[in-house]
Amino acid sequence: DENALVSWDEAEQFIRLFHRENRDAGPVERRLEEVRAEIAATGTYVHSAAELTFGAQTAWRNASRCIGRLYWRSLVVLDRRTSGTAEEIFDDLVGHLRLAGGGPASRRRDVWSGSSRGDRRAEPDWTPPADARRVGRIRPVISVFAPARPGRPYSRVWNDQLIRYAGYRRADGQLVGDPRYVDFTEAMTRLGWRGKGREFDVLPLAIETPGDGVRLFELPEDAVLEVPLTHPEYRWFAELGLRWHAVPAISNMRLTIGGVHYPLAPFNGWYMGTEIGARNLADPDRYNLLPVIAARLGLDTTTETTLWRDRALVELNRAVLWSYQAAGVRISDHHTEARRFLAHVERERRAGRRTPADWTWIVPPMSGAATPVFHRYYDEADQRPNFYLDPPAR
């Protein structure tokens, strides 16, 4: 319940965690006194920039479904708590996508804070800001907008990811585009959007603010890096006309830090290939391409025992990895990401911390047992800060 006052227990727990892991942050008792007084007076409290950065990074560290957590310290945290209007929010989201995708940074501001500690250069993924304009050099970014305040309405984005493709049900019943977004696309259409009816139309952003209600914004082309899919061996693959976007940016999860809820805090990493090749383009209720690719490969699809699904799946995933690499867009394969995850678990263990993980999400959706993450158990604790799925905004 976002209308409740901030829980003192959660606030205290977080402030102590922050000071335990950031020894240069000053005396914890003084900060606890401040926070206690602020909650008593206002029902909530305001995170310092360092607390916000650390809070978002540890929320990632605690995301038990995420295999990509090795680089949690390198998360770039954009403090957008003062952006109030739909235009400001839209401008920030465009800036986020540009920064995340290595495109030109936002016009309005490009202040950004990385790790709260001085050790970023030690991170394998750290690149100096000078590089920040190299398109395709995907970096993990989160934009944190205003927190929910007791009893007040707040801003949200209706989209579950900042970039997704429209889905259309044509008059003859045939589906075009991403079937998962047919309802959402219809909602956009009722709000006045006109999709082009193609397989890969980027959806508009639906930004809802207390002041303006919901408003739609079209993302500028240079904020939406996309990759056309080709195959290292099969020339016909390009003829399928497939593509996917470079930046997966989840925008429907609430960030919870020390009892404070940030209902709008979109974040992105880079893609693990299977998210595209083994889910978005392959699931029967998404683009459902395995039968199409199997037919092109000339496989016998009259019986399951030829493993035509598995063979088509592998070729689709080869194409994804190959195409992103050819386009210079950062992506990782599930074997590499699985190995990194185990390195993360081990590194955390050495730091005296447990790594909560959900086996059913960590194990990749293809070749599960061929990755090392399959062959072990994990802690399942719900540790905070963390990200939570809210009921849909619509």
Question: In this structure, what DSSP letter does residue 77 have?
Answer: E
Told to judge if 270 belongs to the known catalytic residues of this protein, a careful annotator would answer: yes
Distance CA 292, CA 271 (A): 23
Question: In this structure, what DSSP letter does residue 167 have?
Answer: E
Residues 6+ apart with CB under 8 A from 312: 289, 290, 291, 293, 294, 297, 299
Told to judge if 309 belongs to the known catalytic residues of this protein, a careful annotator would answer: no
Query: Residue 30: which of its own copies, ligand HEM, none does it interact with, CB under 5 to 8 A by kind?
Result: none
Among 267, 287, 308, 324, binds ligand HEM (CB under 6 A): 267
- Which residue among 81, 275, 354, 384 is the active-site one? 275
- Which residue among 60, 72, 244, 270 is the active-site one? 270
Q: Does 265 bind ligand HEM (CB under 6 A)?
A: no
- What would the 3-class secondary structure string for 250-312 be? ECCEEEEECCEEECCCCEECCEEHHHHHHHHCCCCCCCCCHHHHHHHHCCCCCCHHHCHHHHH
Q: Does 52 bind ligand HEM (CB under 6 A)?
A: no
Question: In this structure, what DSSP letter does residue 72 have?
Answer: G
Which range of residues in 47-55, 63-71, 108-116, 203-211 is near ligand HEM by CB under 6 A? Answer: 63-71
Told to judge if 139 belongs to the known catalytic residues of this protein, a careful annotator would answer: no
Distance CA 87, CA 212 (A): 10
Per-residue tokens: 11: 């606030």
Within residues 323-342, the interface with ligand HEM by CB under 6 A covers 332, 337
Distance CA 66, CA 54 (A): 18
Could you give the string, one character per residue 267-286, with x where binding to its own copies holds by CB under 8 A and - elsewhere? -----------xx--xxx--
Distance CA 115, CA 76 (A): 7
- Which residue among 31, 61, 69, 156 is the active-site one? 69
Query: Residue 66: which of its own copies, ligand HEM, none does it interact with, CB under 5 to 8 A by kind?
Result: ligand HEM
Query: Residue 306: which of ligand HEM, its own copies, none does it interact with, CB under 5 to 8 A by kind?
Result: its own copies
Nearer to its own copies, 63 or 366 (CB): 366
Could you give the string, one character per residue 348-367, with x where binding to its own copies holds by CB under 8 A and - elsewhere? -----------xx--xxxxx
Residue at 105: amino acid letter: A
Query: Residue 309: which of ligand HEM, its own copies, none does it interact with, CB under 5 to 8 A by kind?
Result: its own copies
Residues 6+ apart with CB under 8 A from 26: 19
Which range of residues in 26-34, 85-93, 179-187, 316-324 is near its own copies by CB under 8 A? Answer: 316-324
Distance CA 385, CA 14 (A): 8
Told to judge if 120 belongs to the known catalytic residues of this protein, a careful annotator would answer: no
Q: What share of the chain is helix, strand, coil (3-state, %, to 5)?
A: 40, 15, 45
Q: Which residues bind ligand HEM (CB under 6 A)?
A: 60, 63, 65-68, 71, 75, 140, 142, 253, 267, 269-270, 272, 275, 332, 337, 361, 387, 389
Residues marked active site are found at: 66, 69, 270, 275
Q: Which residues bind its own copies (CB under 8 A)?
A: 278-279, 282-284, 290, 304-307, 309-311, 313-314, 317-318, 321-322, 325, 333, 335-336, 359-360, 363-370, 372, 374-375
